[in-house]
Each structure stands twice: as structure tokens, then as C-alpha cells.
């Protein structure tokens, strides 16, 4: 039975306590922490968030830098897929090589619930610093790799563990600064991944040609280290949530909520198709005769369009609602795959598809954190809930590219089976998100949700 739910539905409990703002240290903090554990503080009301100010926008800047170095790096997977097939891992099948980028996305999200609990309990600074080290260390080790297992360990496991620890603090800090402008703020933050996806493939590809694979990875790592230092200095939470006992299985609690279950399942299906075009569009374009030089720009075109696809829908969502915009963009993404990517065989058609795919699919990463916050009854648990959401859909990222590679093999090197699969699962995800929306507001169409 459908129930009405406002856009911001958060629990509040009467109490004389207030949530600590800014930082404290020493005995005073220890005493207050002990008092908070015996007398739990109420969930803060996000409607009191300032929606601006120096610290708020510096946090957005830090989040932008982090998304540049995490999702922006993930968005270069097509470059590595094509490069490894003709260089270090030329003796391996496309499906086998695709486990490397699939592991990157999977591990980045899988540890989210536990990282989220660490954030809820200890705050973001230590987690962010450790994540910065692991991400850069993993890329440096990738620069020295020559064997398949070495790429798996460095690029597929170490680096994404670090990305998980730098990505999740962005979600849990940004949400404490914004209420009415939350979707816009997340859109600007998410645009960092698009800019990274535009620049990093070009930088990496050109460096590979000029200085070789090893130094291309090291130079890129130093660039990202500089940006992550900025992020470590600027990212700040407006409120410090009260620390409670660590619960390693606390991530299971959101699954008791039907709305959360439907939302995460819909996102799972969308994610199952999302990275397939990103990973295979370069190889598919070369299959149809596009020159190697032009094909290398496809990811940059896709991510340039995604830059606007993350900011503009976020701005609109503050007026129309997060669920509404997410569903619309998911439907457009699925239709685009089936209606344009399948028949596309010439250079112009493939380039147009890359641009529009980036435009519509990019909205997911801007809207997903806002949607999770919207259906969260207690913002003190936003870290673990966001982590649980992304960890669940990480399994889709793990299996999607190997499935796509197997479909290419099954259809004798052709891409049509892969394309049909991609469009179908994306539309399936949009359908389940629509059901989740129905659980919130019923059949009302012209309502912000």
C-alpha cells in the first residue's frame, strides 16, 4: 500500500542535547563522548543546514577533487582494456582482462558499509588520509606490473580500496551542509568524475605514447596526489555524529525497509549495464573501422557530456525531486542504448551515442547519494546506509564486463548481444525505481519526490 512521504523524511527525537559542531579535543571531548553514549543525541534536522558558506563550498571543492581522482580514474577503464589487450596482457582474452576494471569498481563499492561505519564512528579525516595513501600506492605499483596477478593486486584491489576510503567521506560530509541545494551540491561534486573522465584518458594515453606505460602511471599518480592533498585540507563535516558501538553487521538493517530494497535493486540493474559502454565503446568503435586515434577520444567525449549530465539534472532535481529525475534519466539511458547504439556503425553515430550516453547516464552518480539520503530515516546513519547501497550494486559492476566479454565471444566478436543486454537491464532498473517511487507517493505523477 502506497504511503505519502515528503522529500526530506528524517527522524527527530525530543532532547535537550545538541549535535556537536566543529571539533573538540582532550578530556572535555572524552567526557562528552561518554555522556553521548549513555544519552544518545537526536538525529540532526537537515533543514537547518546552511545551504552555503565558505566551509560548505570548500567541502564541495574537496569532493570535486576526490571524484576526479576516484570515479574519474574509473572512467578511464576503456583505455586500459584496449591497451592491455595489445601490450602486457596480449595473451589473455578480452573477458579475462575485463576482470581488472570490474574488480576496480567492485572493490571500490564493496567495502562501503564498513567504511561507512568507520566514518559514522570516527569521522572522515583518518579514513580519507589512509585512502589517499592506498589509492596512490596502488597506482604506483601498477606502473611496475607486468604479470596478470600483479595488475589484479595493484589496480584491481589496492587502488580501489583507497578509492572506497576517499569516496565515502564525500557523501557523508557534503550532506551535512546542504538541504534545499543538496542535489545541486552533489551534482557539482559528481562533475569532478566527469572532468577526470575527460582529462585522464587523454593524459594517460598521450603519456603512454611519449614516456611509456610505467611513467604515465607515475605522473598521473602525482597529479592525483596533489588534488587529494587539497581534498584532505578542505573536506569538512558540519556536524560530528555521536559515536556509538561499532556494529560490523549494521549494514543489514536498511534491508528491512521495502523502499530501500526496491531502490537498491533498481540501481543494481542499472549498474549492471552502466559500465559496459564505457568499457567497450573504444574496442567496438575500432571493430567498425574507427581509427585508433579518434577512438581514444570517445571516453573523453562521453565524460565531457557527463559533466553537464551531473550538474544540470542535480539543479533540476532540487525543484522536481530526486526520484523523478533519476527515473527519467535511467529511462533515457536505456532507450538510447537500444535505439542508437545498436544501429550505430559509422563514426558520427558512435560519437553522438557517446555524447548522449554520458549526458543521461551521468545523472545517476549525482542523484544516487541524494536519493539514499531522502529515504534515510536517521541521518546519523547516512554513512553506513550509503555504503550499503553502493556495496550492493558493486556486485553488478563486478559481473557486468565479464558477461559482456562472454557475449562478444558467444556472438563471434559482434557486439549486438552485448548491446541488447545493456539496454534491457538498464530499463529494468528504471522500472524498479518507478515501483519504489510508487511506494512513496502512490500513483501521483506531478509531485516532487
The answer to whether residue 217 sits within a structural domain is: yes
- CB-side exposure of 176: number of CA atoms within 13 Å? 27
Range of 324's domain? 51-239+250-441
Instruction: Work out the average pLDDT over 284-301.
Output: 89
Instruction: Write a three-state SS string for 366-391.
Output: HHHHHHHHHCCCCHHHHHHHHHHHHH
pLDDT at residue 52 is higher than 90: no
pLDDT at residue 49 is higher than 80: no
Task: Place 122 in a pLDDT band, splitting at 50, 70 and 90.
Answer: confident
Torsion angles phi and psi, residue 178, rounded to 5: -130, 145
Instruction: Work out the average pLDDT over 250-272.
Output: 92
CA 290 to chain centre: 30
pLDDT at residue 36 is higher than 60: no
Q: How far apart are CA 411 and CA 209, in angstroms?
A: 33
Q: How far apart are CA 383 and CA 372, in angstroms?
A: 10
The answer to whether residue 338 sits within a structural domain is: yes
Torsion angles phi and psi, residue 260, rounded to 5: -65, -40
What pLDDT, on the 0 to 100 scale, is given for residue 243?
Answer: 57
Domain with residue 62: its CATH number is 1.20.1250.20
* Contact criterion met (CB below 8 Å) for 358 and 306: yes
The answer to whether residue 324 sits within a structural domain is: yes
Instruction: Work out the average pLDDT over 342-371.
Output: 91
Instruction: Work out the average pLDDT over 281-292.
Output: 90
The answer to whether residue 184 sits within a structural domain is: yes
* Contact criterion met (CB below 8 Å) for 206 and 142: no
Task: Place 227 in a pLDDT band, splitting at 50, 70 and 90.
Answer: very high
The answer to whether residue 13 sits within a structural domain is: no
Task: Place 27 in a pLDDT band, splitting at 50, 70 and 90.
Answer: very low
Instruction: Work out the average pLDDT over 96-102.
Output: 88
Q: What is the pTM of this model?
A: 0.75
The answer to whether residue 7 sits within a structural domain is: no
Q: How many independent structural domains does the chain possess?
A: 1
Task: Place 446 in a pLDDT band, splitting at 50, 70 and 90.
Answer: confident
Instruction: Work out the average pLDDT over 333-348.
Output: 95
* Contact criterion met (CB below 8 Å) for 166 and 178: no
Q: How far apart are CA 413 and CA 182, in angstroms?
A: 44
Nine-digit cell at 45? 534536522
Task: Place 211 in a pLDDT band, splitting at 50, 70 and 90.
Answer: very high
Task: Place 248 in a pLDDT band, splitting at 50, 70 and 90.
Answer: low
pLDDT at residue 16 is higher than 50: no
What pLDDT, on the 0 to 100 scale, is given for residue 296?
Answer: 82
Residue 420 neighbours by CB under 8 Å, 6+ apart: 338, 342
User: Which candidate, 228, 235, 345, places its Cα nearest to that of 286?
Assistant: 345
- Check the CA dihedral 378-384-390-392 and report its sign: negative
Model pLDDT for residues 156-197, shown as the tens digit of each residue = 999 999 999 998 898 778 877 887 787 788 888 988 988 998
User: Which candidate, 113, 126, 111, 206, places its Cα nearest to that of 164?
Assistant: 111
The answer to whether residue 6 sits within a structural domain is: no
What pLDDT, on the 0 to 100 scale, is given for residue 9?
Answer: 38
Mean pLDDT (the chain) is 84
DSSP code, position 89: T
pLDDT at residue 240 is higher than 70: no
pLDDT at residue 148 is higher than 90: yes
- Provide the Cα torsion 212, 292, 159, 372; round to 10°: 160
Model pLDDT for residues 68-92, shown as the tens digit of each residue = 999 899 878 778 887 898 899 999 8
The answer to whether residue 94 sits within a structural domain is: yes
User: Which candidate, 323, 324, 275, places its Cα nearest to that of 302?
Assistant: 275
- Check the CA dihedral 29-34-39-41 and report its sign: positive
What pLDDT, on the 0 to 100 scale, is given for residue 242?
Answer: 54
pLDDT at residue 11 is higher than 50: no
Max mean pLDDT among 31-35, 116-120, 172-176, 396-400 falls in: 396-400
Amino acid at each position: 500500500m502506497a504511503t505519502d512521504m515528503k522529500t526530506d523524511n528524517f527522524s527527530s527525537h525530543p532532547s535537550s542535547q545538541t549535535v556537536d559542531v566543529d571539533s573538540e579535543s582532550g578530556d572535555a571531548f572524552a567526557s562528552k563522548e561518554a555522556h553521548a553514549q549513555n544519552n544518545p543525541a537526536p538525529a540532526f534536522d537537515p533543514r537547518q543546514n546552511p545551504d552555503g558558506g565558505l566551509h560548505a563550498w570548500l567541502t564541495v571543492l574537496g569532493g570535486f577533487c576526490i571524484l576526479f581522482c576516484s570515479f574519474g580514474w574509473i572512467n578511464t577503464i576503456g583505455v586500459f582494456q584496449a591497451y592491455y589487450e595489445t601490450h602486457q596482457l596480449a595473451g589473455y582474452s578480452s573477458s579475462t582482462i575485463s576482470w581488472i576494471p570490474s574488480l576496480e569498481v567492485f572493490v571500490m563499492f564493496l567495502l562501503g558499509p564498513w567504511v561507512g561505519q568507520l566514518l559514522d564512528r570516527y569521522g572522515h579525516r583518518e579514513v580519507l588520509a589512509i585512502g589517499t595513501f592506498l589509492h596512490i600506492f596502488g597506482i604506483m605499483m601498477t606502473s611496475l606490473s607486468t604479470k596478470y596477478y600483479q595488475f589484479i593486486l595493484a589496480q584491481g584491489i589496492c587502488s580501489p580500496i583507497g578509492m572506497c576510503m576517499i569516496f565515502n567521506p564525500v557523501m557523508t560530509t557534503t550532506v551535512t551542509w546542504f538541504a534545499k541545494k543538496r542535489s545541486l551540491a552533489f551534482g557539482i561534486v559528481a562533475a569532478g568524475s566527469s572532468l577526470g573522465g575527460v582529462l585522464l584518458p587523454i593524459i594517460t594515453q598521450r603519456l603512454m605514447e611519449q614516456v611509456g606505460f610505467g611513467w604515465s602511471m607515475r605522473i598521473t599518480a602525482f597529479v592525483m596526489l596533489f588534488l587529494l592533498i587539497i581534498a584532505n585540507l578542505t573536506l569538512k563535516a558540519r556536524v560530528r555524529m555521536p559515536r556509538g558501538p561499532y556494529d560490523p553487521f549494521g549494514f543489514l538493517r536498511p534491508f528491512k525497509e521495502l523502499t530501500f530494497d526496491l531502490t537498491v535493486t533498481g540501481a543494481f540493474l542499472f549498474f549492471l549495464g552502466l559500465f559496459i559502454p564505457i568499457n567497450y565503446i573504444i574496442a567496438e568503435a575500432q571493430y567498425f573501422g574507427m581509427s585508433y586515434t579518434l577512438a581514444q577520444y570517445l571516453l573523453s567525449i562521453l565524460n565531457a557530456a557527463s559533466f553537464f549530465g551531473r550538474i544540470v539534472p542535480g539543479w533540476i532535481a532540487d525543484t522536481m525531486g530526486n526520484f523523478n529525475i533519476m527515473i527519467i534519466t535511467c529511462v533515457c539511458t536505456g532507450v538510447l542504448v537500444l535505439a542508437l547504439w545498436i544501429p550505430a556503425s559509422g563514426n558520427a553515430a558512435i560519437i553522438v551515442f557517446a555524447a548522449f550516453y554520458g549526458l543521461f547516464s551521468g545523472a545517476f552518480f549525482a542523484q544516487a547519494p541524494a536519493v539514499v539520503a531522502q529515504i534515510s530515516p536517521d541521518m546519523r546513519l547516512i554513512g553506513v546506509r550509503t555504503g550499503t547501497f553502493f556495496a550492493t550494486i558493486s556486485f553488478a559492476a563486478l559481473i557486468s564486463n565479464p558477461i559482456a566479454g562472454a557475449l562478444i565471444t558467444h556472438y563471434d566478436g559482434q557486439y549486438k548481444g552485448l548491446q541488447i543486454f545493456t539496454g534491457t537491464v538498464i530499463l529494468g532498473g528504471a522500472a524498479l525505481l518507478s515501483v519504489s517511487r510508487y511506494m512513496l507517493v502512490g500513483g501521483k505523477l506531478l509531485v516532487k519526490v
